[in-house]
Amino acid sequence: MRVIYDYELSRAIAASRSFSAYPMADRYRELATRFGHDFGPSIALLERLPAFMDGDAHRAMREAMARAFAAIRQPQFAAAKTFLAEFGAARLRRGSRFDLMDDFAVPLFQRMSEVAVSVRQVPDIVVTLTTDVPLLFSPFTALKTRLAINERLAALIAEQGEDVICDLGLLVLGVRPLTGGLARSIHAIISDHDGNLLSAMAWPSHLIFSPVTYVDRICHEAVTLHGEDFAVGDYLRCEIQPAEWSPEQRQVTMFGVGAHLCLGRPISEQIWTLCVTLFAAQDLCATAGPLTMQQGSDPFAMPAHCPIAIEG
């Protein structure tokens, strides 16, 4: 595997039709062959997640998900507004201590997910699966855990049919990017202004961190980009959020590149605006405790703990 750090080259590869998305479903076919387990439900899901798809099938699934997003976007936005109002009343007060992952971003996304499954009329198990399915993407996940998730997927598909995969995919593709992005971005802003009033802090108009720090691509036709030659079969990891890039460059790739631009970008940006409005309205001093990152959360760079203290 070759890692690409150059801004222009990374963007060009990620957007080029000469490269295909990483075929995650193939890894589960290999596991099935190696261990003799039926990973059919996991493969069915992975073959329908746009992040791992290309071509006509990719376009068709994105269109289906876009239609589904249109039905849930406003209810999710309303649910987020309600959650944030409740959080502000309960947590943004003198002497409060909370964690931006456990107490803020994760329950916010869960509230949005509960509304989504209600609107789409699918079982509540979709909400719990949403949290666990990203473990299927990680090379660090134990086989026992993969099999347990696979069994839950099998039960869901048997009850609801494969159409439910679209609804599950809507949430799976957003759970870690949104929760991790919100928690780490807010923590970084408070940390940069430690001890100041929340209302006096400089709150940017956009998220400043994303847990999606790279995209993997496989070359399927020889091509030259920016003076670099690539051969069929080359496996490339394109960094899209390296610290060496300027904030403006990282912002360009925050939600992906080209045909794989994140469908959840509009609602993510709306939620960020709601969060900024809430925190920036508080005449309370805040300090940030030490940030710790999750271990083994690849392919996402996820914060584990983002502690905040409200001093007064």
Q: What CATH number is attached to the domain comprising 79?
A: 1.10.630.10
Q: What is residue 151's predicted lDDT score, i.e. its pLDDT? A: 97
Residue 176: give the domain boundaries.
2-310
202-241 per-position pLDDT tens digit: 999 999 999 999 999 999 999 999 999 999 999 999 999 9
Q: Does the pLDDT at position 312 exceed 70?
A: no
Strand-pair category, 228-230 with 292-293 = unpaired
Confidence bin at 143 (pLDDT 50/70/90): very high
Q: What is residue 240's predicted lDDT score, i.e. its pLDDT? A: 96
280-294 per-position pLDDT tens digit: 999 999 999 999 999
Domain count along the chain: 1
Question: In percent, how much of the chain has pLDDT > 90?
Answer: 97
User: Letter for the amino acid at 219?
Assistant: C
Q: In what order do the strands lie in the sheet with 235-239?
A: 2-4, 235-239, 214-219, 19-21
User: Letter for the amino acid at 155?
Assistant: A
Q: Does the pLDDT at position 89 exceed 70?
A: yes
User: How many CA atoms lie within 13 Å of 23's alpha carbon, on the beta-carbon side?
Assistant: 13
192-205 per-position pLDDT tens digit: 999 999 999 999 99
Radius of gyration of the chain from its Cα atoms, rounded to whole angstroms: 20
> Which residue, chain included where needed, has tokens 């400089």?
202
pTM of the model: 0.95
Taking the C-alpha atoms of residue 66 and residue 265, their distance in angstroms, rounded to an integer, is: 11
Confidence bin at 187 (pLDDT 50/70/90): very high
Q: What is residue 258's predicted lDDT score, i.e. its pLDDT? A: 86
Question: In percent, how much of the chain has pLDDT > 70?
Answer: 100
What are the residue ranges of helices labelled H in the chain? 7-15, 24-35, 40-46, 55-91, 106-120, 125-132, 143-160, 164-192, 247-252, 265-280
Closest to 209 (Cα-Cα) out of 189, 229, 231: 189
Taking the C-alpha atoms of residue 180 and residue 303, their distance in angstroms, rounded to an integer, is: 6
Q: Please give the mean pLDDT across all residues of the chain.
A: 96
